[in-house]
Amino acid sequence: MTTSNKISTRQRNRINGYLFLLPNIIGFAIFTFIPVFMSLIISFSDWDGFSEMNFIGLGNYIRLFSDHVFLVSLKNTLIYTLGSVPFIILFALLVAVALNQGIRGVKFFRAAFFIPHVTAALAIAAVWQLLYHPTVGPINNVLMSLGMDNPPLWLSSSSYAMLAVIIMTIWKRMGYFMVMFLAGLQGIPEVLYEAADIDGASKFRKFIHITVPMLSPVMFFSCIMAIIQSFKVFSEIYALTQGGPGYATNVLVYNIYIEAFDNFNFGYASAQSYILFIIILVVTLLQFRGQKKWVNY
């Protein structure tokens, strides 16, 4: 075979590769890249979706710093993230370790913990609204039977509404990360535990010095995904509280939705979206920078 034929075959394979990728590239351009780029342009305007677009420079971004509702939603998003992510990771890890011990019915428990993740948020919210009901809800009935005279009003209370959403979120999302931890646990070489047994290591020391370091790549990925999901939370808030009572559970993405599709301030909503994008980008970059100190590959 001549050199020209080899180059021709190589080029033909490359073209075939690009042709296979073309549908995905077109879809990405139409449904992701162009809308994201357009939202950047809209963020510098006062466009309401109907009238002519007027560019106002950095007006929308300057307005954010004096917008009480935006600042409250930003604070609520941070509270939600800090209150949910550590517990999602912790409980997912503990459940995965327990299921990895070869207990009976492991397939049933694995499915039981994973089902909430794939169940529609509206259906889950309907169940938890009943659980949180202040008078007939099972949770308050249990608390009153234990001697609590004035149990929390949960979703009706500005003090407890965010806690109620966080509890539901932990229950809903930990199954997804449990599956990842379980896969990571099954990839740890058994010889490491056998060596530790010979040295007389306890179960706790094996967990700290073998399981945790070997799971650190999975843990790092889980932390990134959990934080991004928490900053983007919408369906749980929309289905359970719709940002209330007052602004107690009003988070950034829900506030963006209200500004865009209730108030028709698409320019202002786009500016908030880019602030959210910058926050997620910075947090993710910080995580990648810090992972060198604790992730073992």
Q: What angle is formed at CA 215 by the lines to CA 211 and CA 217, rounded to 5 degrees?
A: 160
Q: Which tokens sit at 103?
A: 């207990």
Q: 10 Å Cβ neighbour count for 80?
A: 22
Asked whether the bond before 151 is cis by omega within 30 degrees of 0, the reply is no
Query: What pLDDT is stored for residue 5 in this prediction?
Result: 58
Query: What pLDDT is stored for residue 68 in this prediction?
Result: 94
Residue 110 pLDDT grade (very low, low, confident, very high; cuts 50, 70, 90): confident
81, pLDDT greater than 90: yes
Query: What pLDDT is stored for residue 258 in this prediction?
Result: 95
Query: What pLDDT is stored for residue 296 in this prediction?
Result: 74
Phi-psi region of 37 (alpha: psi -120 to 50; beta: other; left: phi over 0): alpha
In DSSP terms, 55 is beta-bridged to 45
- Chain centroid to Cα 54, Å, comes to 35
4, pLDDT greater than 60: no
- Block residue for tokens 């993740």: 117
| DSSP 8-state symbol, 55 | B
Query: What pLDDT is stored for residue 49 in this prediction?
Result: 84
List pLDDT tens digits, range 251-271. 999 999 999 999 999 999 999
With a CB cutoff of 8 Å and minimum separation 6, the contacts of 294 are 216, 220
88, pLDDT greater than 90: yes
3, pLDDT greater than 70: no
96, pLDDT greater than 80: yes
Of the candidates 185, 175, 193, the residue with the CA atom closest to the CA atom of residue 217: 185
